Structure formats: structure tokens, C-alpha cells
Amino acid sequence: MNTINTKEYANIRFDSPVVQAEFERLVALVTAAEQARAPLGQSQRAAEGDLARGDISSKQFDSIDAQYIAANNKIAAAKKAVDAFLRNNRNYHIEH
């Protein structure tokens, strides 16, 4: 399945305002999930270095890593919802 790049979502338009509003709501969930992941990604990268230096335990790293993985899964689920919406509502056009 090909997922449309999040930046490209901004160019998708539906003729129906109700359908457009629902689409924008779903895209907002993707954006929120990506924003929520950003600090977790920084923590996860720092924790990798901390683990390599022996500054944290594997258990501590696993906890941080699990949070990052959960954030990635949330993004994937949000994008999957947008993809399903687009499959079910094919009457859109892409503005350039």
C-alpha cells in the first residue's frame, strides 16, 4: 500500500465541505501524532548513546524505546485511517 506523504495531504480537496472537514480532521490526527513523536525520537536517540556508554540499563532503554515505538504505531494508524478514507472517498482532486 502506498501512503501519500503528509505534505501532500494539504493539496487534496473534496467538493463536499462535510467530507473535506472529516478529511482535515483525520490529517490533523497524523500531524498531532508526528508532533508528539518528535521529542520521543530525541529521547530515544539520546538513550541509544546512553546505553552504549553504560549510563542507563537495558531496562531503562527498553522503556524509552517502547514509547518511541508506540508513537510510531500511532502515526501509522493515523495514516492508515487517512488512506482508508481516501480509498472510500475517491471523489477528490489534488491542487498544485
What are the tens digits of pLDDT across the range 16-49?
999 999 999 999 999 999 999 999 999 999 999 9
54 sits in the region (left: phi over 0; alpha: psi -120 to 50; else beta) called left
Torsion of CA 23, 28, 33, 39, to 10 degrees: 160
Neighbour tally for 82: CB within 10 Å:
19
pTM recorded for the entire structure: 0.85
Q: List domains and CATH numbers for the chain.
A: 27-90 (1.10.287)
89, 16 contact by CB (below 8 A) = no
What are the grid coordinates assigned to 23, written together?
Answer: 478529511
The pLDDT of residue 5 = 59
